[in-house]
Chains A and B, each alone.
Chain A
Amino acid sequence: MNMKATLKEIQKAFLSGVSFMMPAVVAGGIMLAISLATGEKGDSGVTVTNEFMKSINLLGTSAFAVMIPILGGYIAYSIAGKPGLVPGMVLGFLANNPVTVGSQEVKSGFLGAMLLGVCAGYLVKWMKKWKVGKTIRTILPILIIPTVAVFALGIFYIYIIATPLAFLMNGLTSIMRNLSGGSAVLLAVFIGLFGEIDMGGPVTKSVSMFTLALMNEGVYEPNGMFRIAVAIPPIGIFLATRLFKDKFNQGDRDASLAAGIMGCIGITEGAIPFVVSDLKRVLPATMIGTAVGCVIGAIGKVKCYVPHGGFIVLPVVENKLWFIAGILIGSIVTAVILGMLKPKLEEAK
C-alpha cells in the first residue's frame, strides 16, 4: 500500500474512533458539568458536596474513563477488524492511566491512545496474515493476537515512550520555573501554548502541577492564566461552528454545543473529538487562542485560587473582568483561526 492510501486509512480510523467515542464524551461531559456547577470551590479544586450530585459526578467520571480506551479500541478496529478492538482498548486504557517512571507519573491521554490504536491496528492486521498451521490458526485470534499485541506494544509504550515523556515533562517544568522569575507575559505565552496542547494529557498535567506548586508558595497568577486556557479550546471550537456555517455541518454544530457547555465549566476534554478528527488544523487554532487568553490574563494580573477553570470558578477569581476577557478573546481567536484553516465543506476531502 502506498503512503497516501495508508494516511487515508489512518484518518478514517481516527474518524471512526471519534464517532464511537462521542456518546461517552457527551454523556460524561454533561454529567460532570451538572455536578461541578453545584460544587464548592476550595483549595483542591471544585468539590461536589451534595450526595446525589456526587453520584452524577461518578457517572461523569465513569464515562470519561472509558472514553479514551474506546477511542484507542475503535481506531485499531477500523484498521484490523474485530481482533484489533480489545488490544486497542487495553492500550488506550494504558495511555490514559499513569505509568510510574522513577518518581514521576506519566500519562499520555488521547494522543497516546491515537498512537497506540494505530500501532495495534497495523500489528494485528499484519498478524492476521501469518501463514500458520491449522492448530495454531484456531488459537491465533483468541490467544496469540491479543496477548502478543498487548504485550509487545504495552512494553514498547512503557519503556520507549513513557520514559522519555517523563524527561520531557521534567524539562517543561524547569523551563517554566526559569520563566516564572522573569516576564509574566513570556510565561503566559508558554503556559498558553503548552497548557492545552494535549487537552488533559501529560503536557497539560505538567503545566497544571507547576501552577499548583506555585499556588502552594502563594503565587496565584500562573494558575489564573492556566485556568483561562482550560476553557478556550472547547468554547473556541463551539464558536467556530457557529461563525463559519459553510465549513461545519449540522452534526459538527450539534456536537460542539456539548463542547461549549463543557468549556464554560472548565472541562477541556470536550474538545478532544474535534482535535482527533483534524489534528493539524484544530491544534494550531487552540494553541494560539489559549496563548492569547493567557497573555490577557497575565496583563490583567488574574489570580485564581482554585485548581479548576472555566466560568464556574469566577467567584474565586481575582480581576474577574480580565479573566472573562481572556476566555472570550482567546476563544474568538481560536474560532477565527480555525475558520480560516478549515476548507469549505464542498471542497472537503
Chain B
Amino acid sequence: MKIIGVSACPTGVAHTYMAQEALEKEGKKRGYDIKIETQGSIGIENEITEEEAEAADVVIMAASVMIEDEERFEDKPTVNADVNDAVSHPEKVLDEVEKLMANQ
C-alpha cells in the first residue's frame, strides 16, 4: 500500500516534523511505502509530486491549519488526524488507515 500525507501545525517548527517522523516510522514498520510532506513555517518540504499523489492509495492529513495545494489529494480516500495525535499515537492513525482501506 502506498500512503502519502501532509503534516502541518500552527507554529510550524516542531510538531509538523515530529508528526512526519512518527508517521513515516510507523508506516515503514508495517511495511508500507509512506511519504509525508511537511508544511511548516518554512513552507513545503519533502514535497509530494503530482505523480506520487496520483499513484497513492490513501492520504493522511495530519494538519491543524489549512494546507497548500490540497486539491492534489482530492479524489483519494483520506484519514484526517490531529497533528498532536500523529506525534503521540502514530499507531492509532495507521490503524485508521488500515480500517479505511479494509472497507474500500
Contacts and interface: CB of A to CB of B under 8 A. Distances in A.
A19 B12 contact: yes
Interface string A174-214: 00000000000000000000000000000000000000000
Interface in A244-293: 249-252, 254-255, 277
Interface of A: 12-13, 15-16, 18-19, 22-23, 74, 77-78, 249-252, 254-255, 277, 345-346, 348-349
A16 B70 CA distance: 14
B82 A16 contact: no
A163 to B, nearest CB: 33
B60 interface: no
Interface string B15-42: 1000000000000000000000000010
- Summarize A's interface: helix, strand, loop or mixed: helix
Contact of B13 (A18, A78, A251): A251
A78 B65 contact: yes
B66 interface: yes
Contact of A13 (B13, B41, B66, B88): B66
Nearest to A348: B84
Interface of B: 9-15, 41, 64-66, 82, 84, 88
A280 B63 CA distance: 22
B11 A252 contact: yes
Contacts, number: 46
Contacts of B64: 12, 15
B38 to A, nearest CB: 13
A348 B88 CA distance: 11
Contacts of A346: 84, 88
Contact of B12 (A77, A251, A277, A349): A251
B41 A22 contact: yes
Given A345-B84, A346-B84, 19 more contacts: A12-B66, A13-B66, A18-B10, A19-B11, A19-B12, A19-B41, A22-B11, A74-B66, A78-B66, A249-B14, A250-B14, A251-B9, A251-B12, A251-B13, A251-B15, A254-B11, A254-B13, A255-B11, A349-B84
Nearest to B71: A81
A251 B41 CA distance: 11
Contact of A251 (B11, B66, B82): B11
A16 B84 contact: no
A349 B12 CA distance: 17
Contacts of B10: 15-16, 18-19, 251, 277
24 contacts: A12-B65, A12-B66, A16-B10, A16-B65, A19-B10, A19-B11, A19-B41, A22-B11, A22-B41, A77-B66, A78-B66, A249-B14, A249-B15, A250-B14, A251-B13, A251-B14, A252-B11, A254-B11, A254-B13, A255-B11, A277-B10, A346-B84, A346-B88, A349-B82
Contacts of A345: 84
Contacts of B13: 250-251, 254
Nearest to A23: B41
Most buried by B among A16, A19, A77, A252: A19
Contacts of A15: 10, 64-65
